[in-house]
């Protein structure tokens, strides 16, 4: 049954109230080397000014259900919490009303200047990566040091997660790591984390599952497929491709644009594994729909 105008008004009032209730408390920037204190409504400005053009970063607009192809080279992210990707999430592409601050998902951004004003109502999202080890979660320092000295070289992991200012509704993402020939993949569905809460993987990993984890051995395995045949083969970059899809409604199908990714074969021999045995979804890349800025 269709909603009456009065019911629609009531829903809008409720949604508006939910946005007003969002915390405006500042927090430390999740990038460890930065550590500046940032207000949620200033995170877009801070992200664009300080982190969007950092070395090896990808900076891009991203839209609901539209895949973004990324490249992860582990040698660039060897220590601490680094920002691998800065994103301006604009809701559904070509539907300005769906922009996060206009669809009651988040607060509008403050302090943007000149051409940045087009992102006033977008949501800033940072894809973080941290190089750490399984042992970093052990609270007993002596045991941690002992294990690290004996087996440290076998316990290396990379943790990936997405952060943004707090939102009134959950924002989901599917993150997939592929080998260079797109024969095998590892994929998870997770939700974007609030940047004002703990951003230390050793502290948040035991209590929640909103991260994607790759062991050193898994990265080596993915990198070993389709390895360049000689040093002169410059067409293939070091590292592995990754695909990121952000969306509000997990039940809506991913946007498919058929003629893109045509060089990629279907996922024969896909590796179906999950992080800690939790929900996993294997997806073939559908489209290179968003280009990096």
- Contacts with Zn ion by CB under 5 A lie at 29, 31, 34, 50
Q: Which is nearer to Zn ion, 43 or 189 (CB)?
A: 43
119 and 112 Cβ atoms separated by less than 8 Å: yes
For 73-102, the DSSP string reads -GGG--SSEEEEEEEEE-SSTT-GGGSTTT
Q: Which is nearer to Zn ion, 50 or 238 (CB)?
A: 50
Q: Which is nearer to Zn ion, 15 or 34 (CB)?
A: 34
- For residue 289 the two structure tokens come to 């729909």
Q: How far is the CB of 157 from Zn ion (least distance, A)?
A: 24
Q: How far is the CB of 128 from Zn ion (least distance, A)?
A: 11
For 137-191, the DSSP string reads G-S-HHHHHHHHHHHGGG-EEEEEEEEES--SS--EEEEEEE-TTSS-EEEEEEE
Q: Is 147 exposed, middle or buried (0-12, 13-18, 19+ CB in 10 A)?
A: middle
Q: Which is nearer to Zn ion, 50 or 71 (CB)?
A: 50
- For residue 74 the two structure tokens come to 């582990």
Q: How far is the CB of 187 from Zn ion (least distance, A)?
A: 29
Q: How far is the CB of 55 from Zn ion (least distance, A)?
A: 14
Q: How far is the CB of 80 from Zn ion (least distance, A)?
A: 13
Q: Which is nearer to Zn ion, 50 or 169 (CB)?
A: 50
Beta bridge partners of 247: 172
């Amino acid at each position: 049954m269709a909603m009456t105008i009065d019911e629609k008004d009531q829903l809008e009032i409720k949604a508006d109230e939910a946005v007003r209730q969002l915390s405006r408390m500042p927090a430390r920037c999740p990038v460890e080397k930065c550590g500046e204190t940032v207000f949620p409504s200033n995170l877009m400005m801070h992200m664009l000014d300080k982190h969007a053009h950092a070395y090896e970063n990808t900076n891009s607009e991203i839209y609901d259900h539209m895949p973004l192809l990324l490249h992860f080279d582990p040698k660039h992210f060897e220590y601490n919490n680094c920002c691998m990707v800065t994103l301006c999430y604009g809701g559904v592409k070509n539907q300005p009303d769906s922009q996060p601050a206009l669809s009651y998902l988040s607060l509008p951004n403050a302090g943007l200047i000149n051409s940045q004003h087009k992102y006033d109502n977008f949501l800033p999202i940072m894809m973080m990566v941290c190089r750490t080890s399984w042992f970093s979660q052990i609270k007993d320092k002596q045991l941690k040091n002992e294990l690290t000295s004996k087996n440290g070289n076998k316990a290396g992991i990379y943790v990936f997660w997405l952060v943004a200012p707090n939102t009134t509704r959950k924002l989901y993402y599917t993150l997939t790591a592929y080998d260079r020939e797109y024969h095998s993949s590892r994929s998870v569905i997770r939700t974007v984390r609030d940047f004002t809460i703990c951003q230390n993987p050793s502290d948040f990993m035991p209590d929640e599952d909103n991260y994607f984890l790759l062991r050193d051995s898994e990265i080596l395995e993915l990198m070993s497929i389709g390895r360049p045949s000689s040093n002169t083969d410059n067409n293939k970059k070091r590292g592995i491709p990754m695909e990121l899809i952000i969306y509000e409604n997990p039940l809506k199908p991913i946007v498919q644009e058929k003629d893109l990714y045509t060089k990629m074969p279907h996922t024969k021999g896909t590796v179906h594994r999950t992080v800690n045995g939790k929900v996993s979804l294997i997806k073939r890349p559908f489209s290179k729909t968003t280009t990096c800025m």
